[in-house]
Amino acid sequence: MQEATQVLAALCLMFVAAKVLGYLSERLNQPSVVGEILAGVLIGPSVLGWVQPTGFIDILAELAVIVLLFRVGLEVNLRDMMEVGLLALGVAVVGVVLPFLAGAGLVAYGLQGELPVALFMGAAMVATSVGITARVLSDLGQLQRRESRTILGAAVIDDVLGLLVLAMVAGIATAGAVSWGDLAGTIGATVAFVAGVLVVARPLFARFSRRLPDPGATPTAFFVAVALMLGLSALAAQIGLAAIVGAFFAGLIVELGDRQPALEQQVGPVAEFLVPFFFASVGMKVELGAFVNPETLGLTAAVLGLAIITKVAAGWLVASRSGWLSSTLIGVGMMPRGEVGIIVALMGLSLGVIDESLYSVVVAMSIATTIVAPPILKAILNRLVRQEAGSYAGESSRTVLEGQGGH
């Protein structure tokens, strides 16, 4: 009971701080997610120390980002995703290879580090944490864009590739060699998961939704949708994928035709309620100390630079035909490492492969890429939308995207 009381006070503080700073952020023409993360930094251990990250808040944040990605999946059509499949695959592969080589190369040649250290550094650079980008795209009402779908698809594939890279790297670091059996197991589980979702769950849901009686449909649809969301998230997490990949797939296969808006209207408030806890908790995990360590400042800057440029370069290289702005948008959208980079570094730390200082470099890089991306995304989208409005209307009208209020 004592714990519940403290958690309630913490939740209240997180919610209010995130919403207020998110609102101020929007007034300054920045995505509200920036304010929400800064709210977490402010009330968290780094600055005021009013709220400590706890196990409960961690899991609630995980649940929140699951609902966020489920909602994004609901808004995106599977067929539209398939359409950008090859492009997304290309962006993901190049966006995994370049950061891996850059991270590993920097440690191996720049720092004269040993092979396992270099490999772990490479693996930590690979991750894409798509929650932040998805939120910005959704808030600005731009999820239906080709670039947005490419980013979402590439992030899902990136997660699978990152899982494989991590399995290989961990095998080399612990056993001295890639464990091909483990790797085959991971690949098999992933293929089975995706195939199961598309071949079994999707047709089942389609058949179910056709049988729904029209009036009683909404509560039942909400129940089945939430059950799918929780089930596929748990399943994805079980095989080592990010839970949000499962949630996104769940959203993708829920197709209710003209009843879809009613379902989206029900999932919306659940997301509005939970999602601020995710972004505030991202901020609460920021250790400002990691940035101001003079010994590692140079290394942090180098790693951060490589982390940014390699993802953006992946966008440029693969999506160049879409034009400069669009390919940059895709690259920047893949940039936030979020908690995923930190998890990989933490695994390296606990295996004794990388040391504290390299760990804090990765943490600083993960946080910086996460905070830097949203304003750039918004600026590029503003330009793109202005250009398109200009080319349609034959004039350079100042159309500026506005966040959708209280998101």
Q: How far is the CB of 23 from its own copies (least distance, A)?
A: 9
User: Which CB atom, from 12 or from 393, has the smaller least distance to its own copies?
Assistant: 12
DSSP state at residue 46: T
Positive or negative torsion for Cα 344, 349, 350, 356: negative
**Token pair 């190049």 in the structure block, residue:** 94
Q: Classify residue 24 by burial, with Cβ atoms within 10 Å: 0-12, 13-18, 19+.
A: middle
Q: Which of 146, 150, 157 is closest to 87 using CA atoms? A: 150
What mask, x for binding its own copies by CB under 8 A, covers residues 130 to 159? ------------------------------
Window of 42-50, 192-200, 234-242, 356-364 that interacts with its own copies by CB under 8 A: 234-242
Token reading at 369: 């890429």
Residue 56 contacts its own copies per CB under 8 A: yes
Task: Decide if residue 230 touches its own copies (CB under 8 A).
Answer: yes
267-286: which residues touch its own copies (CB under 8 A)? Answer: 267-270, 272-273
- H or E stretch covering 207: helix 202-211
- Cβ(37)–Cβ(279) below 8 Å: yes
Nearer Cβ to its own copies, position 211 or 321?
A: 211
For residue 292, CA distances in Å to 210, 297, 364 come to 58, 7, 10
Does 264 engage in binding with its own copies (CB under 8 A)?
no
Q: Which string of x and - marks every residue 80-119 that binds its own copies (by CB under 8 A)?
A: ----------------------------------------
**200 contacts its own copies (rule: CB under 8 A):** no
Residue 369's nearest CA partner among 317, 312, 296 is: 312
| 195 binds its own copies, rule: CB under 8 A | no
Non-local CB neighbours of 383 within 8 Å, separated by 6+ positions? 325
25 binds its own copies (CB under 8 A): no
Contact set with its own copies (CB under 8 A): 1, 3-5, 7-9, 11-12, 15-16, 19, 55-56, 58-60, 62-63, 66, 216, 218-220, 222-223, 226-227, 230-231, 233-234, 237-238, 243, 265-270, 272-273, 343, 405-407
